[in-house]
Structure 1
Amino acid sequence: MTLSKPIALIAFSIISVPTYASAHDDQCSVVAASVADAGFEGDVTVTCTDSHAILTSDTYPDHDLMTGIIGTNEQVPVPAEYAAPIILTPTQGTTPLTRDAALGVAVNGVPIYDYTGGGEMSEADLAHHQAQHDTLQTNQLDVCGGHAGRGDDYHYHAKPTCMIEQMQNAGDAAIIGWAFDGFPIYSDANPDGTAIADGALDVCNGQPDEVFGYRYHTSPDSPYIVQCLMGEVPDFDALPRVRPLSAATGGGAQPGRPPQGGVDDLVFTQNDDGSRSMDYTYEGDPYFIRYAPAETEGCYAFTTQTVTNKGEVMTGEFCR
């Protein structure tokens, strides 16, 4: 979706930048270094074309998942092959871009969405906090800033705190992700460690940068993370989406619906054999979603008892 009115950027102070960001003449190397320096080169493959750096991963991070969620949508994280294209020659635009899918990718290969559950906001939505759609305030996110979306795909809607704790180069100078317009994403402070001045971040949660031209930030308050893209994206409508699960016999998997009032005691268990289980209670009754790898590659055998399906035990094989 393209918005009609340009939104001006705010003036900034010149800052120091991380040393690996100075190799601006080879942006592919910069993107690859951001992954390698963070210690995720074993989880994310970086390849480059003439126009893009492609970050390929299974979107399934090696950190705690789903802990702390109350407003569950009754979806679980399932690995999903994902190739995130990052423009190598970013150009700042004048009109913010939004979509109901990822706006970028973290250096561990997990997609980054805006803070809302629906995405693709209007100009008025961008200017005003949408509390009813805020995934953090409605308790839909885990303690790591992410959750499983409608496609049973794990992604971040807020600062990826657990990933940052894992980063070998963790610190204000570290790039924590890349937006699809080619501009980097940093954490809550300027790369030189100074605090970001009140009002310095624009509507997309970004500000000018002396090396890249522009950069995004996470923030303690809404919008918490990249809210829209301020760079030009010629192939915006063709940006990737995680392929949802579909039944092995054909047809899509029905997305869950958040149980009214939320659930209690949600626990997500991961076993060495690849099986997973999300167990929780709702109004005193137990519910669960469990799956294990099936014989067919990319497929999983599910057994579920959910509020969405009114407590009926259901089984099936689902594939990406």
Structure 2
Amino acid sequence: MTRPFVATIPFLLVLNAAQPAHAHDDHCAAIRESVEKAGFADSVTVVCDGDHASIISDTFPDHEMMTGIVGTNEQVPVPAKDHAAPIPLEPKLGDTPQTRDSSLGVAVNGVPIYDYTAGGEMTEAELYHYQAHHDTVATQQLDECGGHAGKGDDYHYHAKPTCMIEQMKNAGDDAIIGWAFDGFPIFGDNNPDGTQIADGELDVCNGKADDTFGYRYHTSADAPYIIQCLMGEVADLQALPRVAPLRSIDGNGGRDSGVPPRGGVEDLVFTQFPGGGGHMEYSYRGETYYIRYAPSDRPDCYDFETRTVTNGGEVETGTYCR
């Protein structure tokens, strides 16, 4: 590691509590503009209502997924129709970093953003110590775009969303690439004016003060790579949305999450099919395994056929729904 991410500056900032009446409208406009300028308005909707903006999408990016993964959990990306990510319109900084075992924000293309680990919610003490065995980059769990499919067969980012950034019409240091669930924006590796961020300048959550928004997060070349925790106030962290996992068509049980094959797999490729289907294939110890699905006759349901290392190479079928 070339840069430790222990906070070396105070991360409690004080914002003016008496924000102008139009603050909600301004923040809503900034969120909507970040999606529109990036070129994702056709697939992502921003709706402002009350104290929050909702970034609504199917969480399915329009870029290559899963390529290059070695430490697969044998899950596959499946769309999550009308997933709504709430962003506060009047963000306020707190004095304690907060974490959860799910997404901490959303990218401007509608894909959820997690912290860098695969271990779930971190304690406050763990935030200050690099979790090597849970690092999704170091353990080769991520694709070339910084994401993978989680236990709910939901695609999300754990690191800088490189493929999304390449697609952005306004790609550059001043472009917002996402929003955290505390209402603060997420930028790339550099300051919005293009200057480099010095070692130790970012706090434990990978953020710093901002003249426009009061605070902002950044991606980074080294761990934690992306937003690690929330520095802003969140009324109920556990009430924040999660992408619903796939459940069997009768509602009893779901598609079991896989177990990463020892030593990893080779040649993993995911192919999207016209009409909403997908096929993921990979090799393990000379054998070929796969997970494929196609839309079922029922809305938001998919017919699966799988042959995985986790289930001993047996071919299994089933219909699962969000």
Instruction: Provide, for residues 218-254 of structure 1, a one-character-per-residue CA deviation record: whole Å limited to 9, x for no partner.
Output: 0000000000000000122200000000011232221
Question: Does the 8 Å contact 1:10/1:202 carry over to 2?
Answer: no
Q: Which residue in the other structure is 2:218 paired with?
A: 217
Instruction: Provide, for residues 240-274 of structure 1, a one-character-per-residue CA deviation record: whole Å limited to 9, x for no partner.
Output: 00000001123222111111110011111112132
Worse-superposed segment, 264-273 or 26-35: 264-273
Question: Does the 8 Å contact 1:299/1:317 carry over to 2?
Answer: yes
Q: Which residue in the other structure is 2:270 paired with?
A: 268
Worse-superposed segment, 99-108 or 231-240: 231-240
Shift of residue 95, structure 1, vs aligned partner: 0.1
Secondary structure, counterpart of 2:126 in structure 1: helix
Q: Which residue in the other structure is 1:228 paired with?
A: 229
Q: Which residue in the other structure is 1:15 paired with?
A: none
Instruction: Provide, for residues 96-139 of structure 1, a one-character-per-residue CA deviation record: whole Å limited to 9, x for no partner.
Output: 00000000000000000000012210122100110000001000
One-letter amino acid of the counterpart of residue 165, structure 1:
E
Taking the aligned partners of 1:63 and 1:242, their CA distance within structure 2 comes to 20
Q: Which residue in the other structure is 1:284 paired with?
A: 286
Question: Does the 8 Å contact 1:84/1:105 carry over to 2?
Answer: yes
Structure 1 alignment gaps of length 5 or more? 1-6, 12-22
Q: Which residue in the other structure is 1:20 paired with?
A: none
Secondary structure, counterpart of 1:31 in structure 2: helix
Q: Which residue in the other structure is 2:179 paired with?
A: 178
Secondary structure, counterpart of 1:165 in structure 2: helix
Find out whether 1:308 has 2:276 as its counterpart. Answer: no
Total equivalences in the alignment = 303
One-letter amino acid of the counterpart of residue 189, structure 1:
N
Taking the aligned partners of 1:290 and 1:119, their CA distance within structure 2 comes to 27
Q: CA RMSD in A?
A: 1.3
Taking the aligned partners of 2:94 and 2:219, their CA distance within structure 1 comes to 21
Find out whether 1:150 has 2:134 as its counterpart. Answer: no
Question: Does the 8 Å contact 1:10/1:201 carry over to 2?
Answer: no
Taking the aligned partners of 2:120 and 2:170, their CA distance within structure 1 comes to 31
Secondary structure, counterpart of 2:11 in structure 1: coil
Question: Does the 8 Å contact 1:8/1:94 carry over to 2?
Answer: no
Structure 2 alignment gaps of length 5 or more? 1-8, 14-22
Taking the aligned partners of 2:59 and 2:97, their CA distance within structure 1 comes to 26
With the length of structure 1 as denominator, give the TM-score of the two structures.
Answer: 0.93
Q: Which residue in the other structure is 1:4 paired with?
A: none
Q: Which residue in the other structure is 2:78 paired with?
A: 78
Q: Which residue in the other structure is 1:113 paired with?
A: 114
Find out whether 1:259 has 2:265 as its counterpart. Answer: no
One-letter amino acid of the counterpart of residue 147, structure 1:
H
One-letter amino acid of the counterpart of residue 305, structure 1:
R
> Segments of 4+ in structure 1 off by > 6 A?
none
Secondary structure, counterpart of 2:214 in structure 1: coil
One-letter amino acid of the counterpart of residue 61, structure 2:
P
Matches within 5 A, 1:125-140: 125-140=126-141
With the length of structure 2 as denominator, give the TM-score of the two structures.
Answer: 0.92
Find out whether 1:29 has 2:36 as its counterpart. Answer: no
Matches within 5 A, 1:59-98: 59-81=59-81, 82-98=83-99
One-letter amino acid of the counterpart of residue 247, structure 1:
S
Find out whether 1:166 has 2:167 as its counterpart. Answer: yes
Question: Does the 8 Å contact 1:45/1:55 carry over to 2?
Answer: yes
Q: Which residue in the other structure is 1:52 paired with?
A: 52
Secondary structure, counterpart of 1:208 in structure 2: strand
Q: Which residue in the other structure is 1:194 paired with?
A: 195
One-letter amino acid of the counterpart of residue 294, structure 2:
A
Taking the aligned partners of 1:10 and 1:231, their CA distance within structure 2 comes to 10
Instruction: Provide, for residues 15-64 of structure 1, a one-character-per-residue CA deviation record: whole Å limited to 9, x for no partner.
Output: xxxxxxxx886110110000000000011110011200000000000001
One-letter amino acid of the counterpart of residue 298, structure 1:
D
